[in-house]
Every structure is written in structure tokens, then in C-alpha cells.
Amino acid sequence: MYNEEMILQQAEVHDSFYLYEEAKIKLAMENLQKNFKGIRFLYSIKTNANKHVVQSVLSNGFGVDAASVAEVEMGVSHGVDKRDIQYSTPGKTRKYIEKTLECATIVADSLGEMVRIQEVAEAKGVVAEIGVRLNPDFSFYGDTGVASKFGIDEEAFFNHLDWILSLNNIKIIGLHIHIRSQELDEMRIATYYENILRLAHTVQRELGTNLAFINMGSGIGIPYEIDDTALDMQKLGGKTLDIVASFAAEFPQTQLYIETGRYVVGKSGVYVTKVLDKKVSYGTTYVVLGNTLNGFLRPSIAQLIVKYSGVANPVGSEPLYTTKNPTQIHVLKKETEMEVVTLVGNLCTATDVVATDILLPKLEEDDIVVMTNAGSYAAVLSPMQFSSQIPPKELFLQENGEVIF
């Protein structure tokens, strides 16, 4: 599951740290590449922008799903082709567009953004080949669209087509759709891809040209809860290839993309911290750990959301909240005596709670606690500046067994 020996070794040097395993990242990438032959993959850097993680992923054939100018620049510095750096996020300003127009494929997120891209491209005297993100008239669970801050409503796009086609310095060459992350049902994902290709047909017909690319977004989930079932990637890949076969035969020049961050690194990382103190208050045994809410936010925010929502299983709100128990908590110690404890952090706030009343091997000061599922939306989401603690290290275990940071 993870390299226990390496964790013990690193815990002698660092009080709290992330450990990402390159071998696991590569395995996840291979799992995608071998089961989805012909489809290209983009790495959603926002999930984990650690330089070694990014280097490992981008040097193994993935392109970039960039959510900022800085993420575009990471792709450029790794020599990724313009077509394989897709810059798709709401709120791109003229300045951002100017900086990325020549080195990335900008995906317009609104009609207003199209105006800005047109103006920047006109000033530069170029025709910008761009993608367009649509908010489709379907969802993962039904066949009607829902209001979203992302993309242009399908209907609005078609209603404005004459105006869009009159923008002389823009050429739409691609379609981008992404409406949901963290799905664990193969059939739902496959149906979603099917709906995208149907819409792509309409877009091509209305535009009067074939698209150079279709970015089908993400959706690919990973198991978080102990009893979640992992996606069967062979099954999902097979279904997907069946679905895209006729489209690919009809439009061989159109490149299909899937973008994912979570699947690539989510399971490759653990968070490691130590017991700082232990005390009993009115019958509750508190174990105080270092750098929890501020070092690895996910478990603490899950506690908060469950507490304040008043429902047993609140729906996910990605990427901050996925599920009630987003991590498995392990104690690295040979101890057979068990004890019910509440795990908290060392911050000066009562909301710094990792787990309430859980059964764990009896913990003492300096014991090592490991939390799984810490590769994705973990370090990047944690408020490490809060209370000026020494932040956790991010360690990268290379395939050759060497740890770097």
C-alpha cells in the first residue's frame, strides 16, 4: 500500500511530510494509456503542482490541463506542445490571454472572453486557434443542463454562432466539456462521453468545420472510503473505445483528450505526522497531532462539513470535500491494545479535528500516524501559512529508491 520502511526512515528527519511515490504515479498513467488507446491525456496540474510530480507526469507523455498562467508556463518549461497545453479556467483577463496566446491552446470560457481573445489576437495580428468550453444541455445524471459558472451554455453558443463566426481573429478548433469529478460508476462516465460526442457532431455541423480536438474533461474517480470500489479501468477503457470508434472513423483528424489530476496522483501520496501530546477531558481522549488542518486539510474539512450539514452523508463538493472519511488513518507501530480516541491538531482552533471517536492502536508521544489518499488536492489545498507552523515537507520517492524534495 505504501512504503513503510521509507516512511519510518523519513520520520526520523521530518516531523510531518507528504510522500509521493513515482512508481505509483507511473502505474496510474500506464493504466490510462494502455486502456484508452488513441486518446491523449492531460494532467490537471492544480491537483498537485509539486515540481517532481509535474516532471514525472509530463515526461511520460501527458499534456497539460492548465488552470492558470503559471500552470501554462510549467507546461512550456517541460517542452509540451502548444496543442497539448489547454488553458481552461473562468476569468481569463487580457493580460493572461496576452501571456498565453502563443504558447497554449486557450479555451474560451465565456462570450466575453471571446471578445478579449479577439482583441488581443487582432492587436498581435494573428488568428488565434482556440477551444471553447460549453456547458452542455445534459448532466452526469440526466438530460438537462444546469446553471454553471463554467463554459458557455450550449444554447447560448448556438444562438450566438453568427456573431462568433464574425470574430475574424478567432478560429474555433476544439471543444471542451467538464462537468463532474470523482465518479466511480463506469457506465455513467461512458454515457457522459457518448453525450459529448453527440454534441460534438452538432457543433461541427453548425460551425461548418471539423474540430481538431475534443477535450472530454474528467470524471474519473478514485476510492476514498474504505468500502469504495475502484473503477475497473479495463471496462471503462473498453466502453469508451467502443463509444468513440465510429466518431474516430468518421473524423480521423480529431484528437480526443481526457484530462485528469486525481487519478494520476491521488493514491500515490500519503501524509505523515506525529503524536505531540495526549490528554483526557470529560472522558474524551484527545491525541494531538502536528500540522493537520494546516498541513492536510481534507480530513478536517470533512469533519466540519459533516458536523454542520446535519446530514449523515453530505454530497461531494470537489475538490475540497469528497466524502466523510476521505483518508484511512494508520498507526506505524506494533501495538495490539486498542483505544477510542479523538484525533486533533496543534492549532489554536477547536475546528482542527481529524477524526472523532475512532478505534486505533494505543498512541503515545512521537508515534507516527499515516493518512492515505494524500496525493491529490491535499498539499495544494492546505492553509500552511496559518499560525506560522513549520510546514510539512513534500518528499518524492523516485523509482530508483531515492527520496528528493
Ligand X SMILES: *Cc1c(COP(=O)(O)O)cnc(C)c1O
Q: What residue ranges bind ligand X (CB under 6 A)?
A: 44, 46-47, 65, 67, 88, 178, 181-182, 217-218, 220, 259-263
DSSP state of 321: B
| Separation of alpha carbons 377 and 213, rounded Å | 27
DSSP state of 387: G
For residue 9, the minimal CB distance to ligand X (Å) is 30
Residue 335 grid coordinates: 501495538
Amino acid identity of 397?
Answer: L
| Separation of alpha carbons 345 and 226, rounded Å | 23
The DSSP code sequence of 259-316 is EESHHHHGGGEEEEEEEEEEEEETTEEEEEESSSTTT-HHHHHHHHHHHHH-SSSPPP
- Using the minimum distance from each CB to ligand X, give the nearer residue, 67 or 170: 67
For residue 391, the minimal CB distance to ligand X (Å) is 23
For residue 279, the minimal CB distance to ligand X (Å) is 38
| Separation of alpha carbons 235 and 242, rounded Å | 11
- Using the minimum distance from each CB to ligand X, give the nearer residue, 88 or 118: 88
DSSP bridge pairs for 331: 369
For residue 352, the minimal CB distance to ligand X (Å) is 26
Is residue 267 within 8 Å of residue 374, measured between CB atoms?
no
- Using the minimum distance from each CB to ligand X, give the nearer residue, 45 or 353: 45
- Using the minimum distance from each CB to ligand X, give the nearer residue, 145 or 361: 145
For residue 155, the minimal CB distance to ligand X (Å) is 21
Helix boundaries (H) for 36-77: 51-58, 69-77
Is residue 45 within 8 Å of residue 68, measured between CB atoms?
no
- Using the minimum distance from each CB to ligand X, give the nearer residue, 214 or 353: 214
For residue 143, the minimal CB distance to ligand X (Å) is 21
For residue 220, the minimal CB distance to ligand X (Å) is 6
- Using the minimum distance from each CB to ligand X, give the nearer residue, 258 or 287: 258
Cis-peptide, bond into residue 319, ω within 30° of zero: yes
- Using the minimum distance from each CB to ligand X, give the nearer residue, 116 or 176: 176
104 CB-contact burial (10 Å; exposed 0-12 / middle 13-18 / buried 19+): buried
Is residue 124 within 8 Å of residue 106, measured between CB atoms?
no
Give which of 357, 387, 361 is closest to 286, Cα–Cα: 357
CA 34 to chain centre: 21
| 3 state DSSP class of 20 | strand
- Using the minimum distance from each CB to ligand X, give the nearer residue, 88 or 346: 88
For residue 88, the minimal CB distance to ligand X (Å) is 5
For residue 26, the minimal CB distance to ligand X (Å) is 17
Angle at CA of residue 302, ends 297 and 307, nearest 5° = 130
- Using the minimum distance from each CB to ligand X, give the nearer residue, 24 or 330: 24
